[in-house]
């Protein structure tokens, strides 16, 4: 299973690529192995503000409906329109074309990443294995 070392991860299997106060997020390969094939993905709206621990996206798979939360307070700058027409991209290419959203972190959190349950790749790998 592919697990890029330059990303951060959450317990809900969201990956996070950070560049300053901008993040790009998607779902890990492990999410799909655990939850099954995606049938529908509800994407956030561009310019939508999402509170820390607010719902970023909802994913319907063959095994149920899952709400994925954003660990930071931010504003959605862009979404990948490809997922609306081809939800299978989120599984086929989860770390490139299958990204969900680009978000600007509006306000730095007072909690640590451990409190927000954001982990580096080594810690995340221990959680899923």
Domain that holds residue 72: 12-116
Percent of the residues in the chain that have a pLDDT greater than 70, as a whole number: 94
- Model-wide pTM > 0.85: yes
* 49-73 residues labelled b (16+ CB within 10 A) or e (exposed): ebebebebbebebeeeebebbbbbb
Question: Above 70 in pLDDT, residue 109?
Answer: no
107 lies in some domain: yes
4 lies in some domain: no
87 lies in some domain: yes
Tally of domains within the chain: 1
Rounded Cα gap, residues 114 and 46, in angstroms = 28
Averaged pLDDT for residues 106-111: 67
């Amino acid at each position: 299973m592919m697990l890029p070392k330059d990303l951060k991860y959450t317990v809900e299997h969201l990956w996070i690529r950070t560049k300053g106060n901008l993040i790009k997020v998607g779902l890990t390969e492990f999410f799909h192995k655990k939850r099954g094939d995606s049938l529908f993905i509800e994407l956030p709206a561009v310019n939508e503000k999402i509170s820390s621990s607010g719902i970023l996206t909802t994913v319907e798979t063959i095994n149920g409906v899952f709400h994925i939360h954003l660990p930071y307070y931010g504003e959605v700058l862009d979404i990948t329109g490809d997922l609306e027409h081809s939800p299978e991209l989120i599984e086929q290419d989860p770390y490139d074309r299958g990204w969900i959203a680009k978000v600007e972190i509006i306000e730095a959190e007072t909690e640590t990443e451990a409190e927000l349950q954001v982990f580096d790749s080594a810690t995340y790998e221990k959680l899923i294995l």
